[in-house]
Structure 1
């Protein structure tokens, strides 16, 4: 009240309107009012009265106060976010800088400064060219004008010179900032330290060079081995042929009769010579296959004729041990396109092994099946022999390896046969897969992905071909030899 009286007195003295905001309690509520004190004059122009007008502005003042508080909060958040963005810019895991149209630094973050060893003052307004190696400098002179025109640059590699003289390889990406008229203002550039990548690339390049040299040396060694084995096989075959020839002459008794003891001794010479000749051939064949010197001569072969020939080859050893030979052909399979000599070599090898490792009065079964889904013909040889342990399966196809040293003493062999079989089946687009249990026997499956002709696609041909009736006679579910 005293303030109001004083204000009124001032109006009388100053003869001017006074406006102010004040709070007043009404009904126990403190509210804001805008008070206007306006002088009223008499006829002589003197202040006669003062008109007091009070307007309730409590709601307006409340809104203004809330706006002030909100604005203060917003300013604090903007300050905080600006600091966060600045911190992210300065301490990001990648370098940031901006160059003007002349290629001078106008901005650079702390990460890039740390990488290069410079202070901000040492780089701002300095040409980017100053910290480039001669090779990178020439590249930048070409790419920077292109960048200004195009507006972007991706994965450009440069070598930067640190303050201490060391080199920092980087990958640079940039976009252009332009004004509303399209005029270039500055770049927004990021650089990535690619030191580790460059080391890895160098190591990889050295490894490739070393691998190339090793491959060249390996090829040379392989060729040398083939040439050596070819020469040695010739040198060994020549005297062996003489031994075998003379043995056959003695056994045929062309030069006179032999008693039983002499015949057994000559027989040992003859069988040992043939065994040695077989080993020489296996070594030479395996070396040629491993060196990629074997080419397949594919031709359509009658499956029944092929299997019958192979079974006939091992029939003698099987009969001596009382082993039953079984053949289960697929009635639908007529021919298969393979290299006859090599595929026959595979079949005979596996059948011979089955007979060798099967005890007296055992069983060896040859099966032929067609897998329509995979479009391949699968051969399998199953025996009731000694079997193979799980631990030995992994090295079954290693050259010069037998799965048990005791087998070497009981069953002669070098371990070359299965290695050669595996390589030959891979040449035919297949492989060899083994299922075995010790004491119960083994099954070796060898699918061939070569083209085959089936009975339903060749019915017309078999009716007009002499092979047709023969096929009907032999295509039973199981045939005993």
Structure 2
């Protein structure tokens, strides 16, 4: 496997945009493209060696884990390529591939991958109510990316003795379903909540725990939610954890 060279030209500035601001935007896009692709350039060749057995024989369980990793690295590369090729700053403008999906099933698949991680962290529990499982009319890839980011954020800031729970409310009178990811971490201040979806914003907790990232995850996730006519919101009190809610149009029954 190889990571394609980044030959994508900078996205054009909007009509009438200030040239200085446009140049800053192009530089910012170039920086983010590099940061997104750099880890893949390291992961791909090493993973290929492991999968091919070049580093020694693998047990069935090790091979199973590597296949999961390989599949998700390929998925990540495709996501990065798609974002870059479409001019990532305008990701919400691209049409969503909407279909009937189960956000809770997508969350379960993300949580299952998380359980393969032996580095510790809080437990992730997906709570299921009585069937039928609520279904949404949305882009499956986008929703999976959003849920993965929300669970990743929650596990990053929640102590290993804490808990991350995922639940879903059925369709209501407004014709929407809501997925909630709640944690028992330190929570966020009102000031942090007000800026959480800003491009490049990193809160005090991110600095304290030295969390990796560029501060664009929630910014991207909200725009992806909007592609499916959805809404992503956060609620919190300091010391009371964070509740992230993803509201999506309900699928027709």
TM normalised by structure 2 equals 0.69
Shift in Å at residue 369 of structure 1? 0.3
Alpha carbons of structure 1 residues 306 and 285: separation in structure 2 relative to 1, 3 Å: farther
Instruction: Answer yes or no: is 1:401 the counterpart of 2:201.
Output: yes
Please identify which structure carries the higher strand content: 1
Instruction: Answer yes or no: is 1:375 the counterpart of 2:170.
Output: no
Alpha carbons of structure 1 residues 249 and 301: separation in structure 2 relative to 1, 3 Å: closer
1:99-123 deviation line (CA, Å, top 9, x unaligned) = xxxxxxxxxxxxxxxxxxxxxxxxx
Alpha carbons of structure 1 residues 244 and 362: separation in structure 2 relative to 1, 3 Å: same
Provide the secondary structure at the position in 2 that maps to 1:432. Answer: strand
Q: Which residue of the partner structure matches residue 389 of structure 1?
A: 189
Alpha carbons of structure 1 residues 286 and 432: separation in structure 2 relative to 1, 3 Å: farther
Instruction: Answer yes or no: is 1:327 the counterpart of 2:126.
Output: yes
Provide the secondary structure at the position in 2 that maps to 1:244. Answer: helix
**1 or 2 for the larger relative contact order (CA 8 Å, sep ≥6)?**
2
Instruction: Answer yes or no: is 1:425 the counterpart of 2:225.
Output: yes
1:34-81 deviation line (CA, Å, top 9, x unaligned) = xxxxxxxxxxxxxxxxxxxxxxxxxxxxxxxxxxxxxxxxxxxxxxxx
1:14-39 deviation line (CA, Å, top 9, x unaligned) = xxxxxxxxxxxxxxxxxxxxxxxxxx
RMSD over aligned Cα atoms: 4.0
Distance 1:305 1:360 in 2: 24
Alpha carbons of structure 1 residues 256 and 290: separation in structure 2 relative to 1, 3 Å: closer
Matches within 5 A, 1:219-258: 229=29, 233=33, 237=37, 243-249=42-48, 251=50, 254-255=53-54
Verify the 8 A CA contact 2:122 2:163 in the aligned structure 1. Answer: yes
Distance 1:241 1:413 in 2: 14
Distance 1:291 1:219 in 2: 21
Distance 2:177 2:18 in 1: 34
Counterpart pick for 1:366 among 166, 172, 194: 166
1:294-350 deviation line (CA, Å, top 9, x unaligned) = 220111123443232122232234x63252222223434443221111111011110
Alpha carbons of structure 1 residues 333 and 243: separation in structure 2 relative to 1, 3 Å: closer
Instruction: Answer yes or no: is 1:218 the counterpart of 2:17.
Output: yes
Verify the 8 A CA contact 2:92 2:226 in the aligned structure 1. Answer: no
Counterpart pick for 1:353 among 140, 153, 170: 153
Distance 1:228 1:441 in 2: 32
Provide the secondary structure at the position in 2 that maps to 1:379. Answer: strand
1:392-451 deviation line (CA, Å, top 9, x unaligned) = 111111111111176265222211111111111122222222221222211111211x24
Alpha carbons of structure 1 residues 324 and 429: separation in structure 2 relative to 1, 3 Å: same
Shift in Å at residue 358 of structure 1? 0.5
Alpha carbons of structure 1 residues 231 and 329: separation in structure 2 relative to 1, 3 Å: same
Q: Which residue of the partner structure matches residue 445 of structure 1?
A: 245
Q: Which residue of the partner structure matches residue 115 of structure 1?
A: none
Counterpart pick for 1:299 among 73, 83, 99: 99
Provide the secondary structure at the position in 1 that maps to 2:15. Answer: helix
Distance 1:233 1:392 in 2: 26
Distance 2:151 2:39 in 1: 26
Residue segments in structure 2 that go unaligned for 5+ positions in a row? 1-12, 57-72
Distance 2:157 2:205 in 1: 14
Residue segments in structure 1 that go unaligned for 5+ positions in a row? 1-213, 258-273, 455-481
Counterpart pick for 2:80 among 276, 281, 284: 281
Q: Which residue of the partner structure matches residue 311 of structure 1?
A: 111
Alpha carbons of structure 1 residues 437 and 316: separation in structure 2 relative to 1, 3 Å: farther
Alpha carbons of structure 1 residues 332 and 372: separation in structure 2 relative to 1, 3 Å: farther
Alpha carbons of structure 1 residues 303 and 389: separation in structure 2 relative to 1, 3 Å: closer
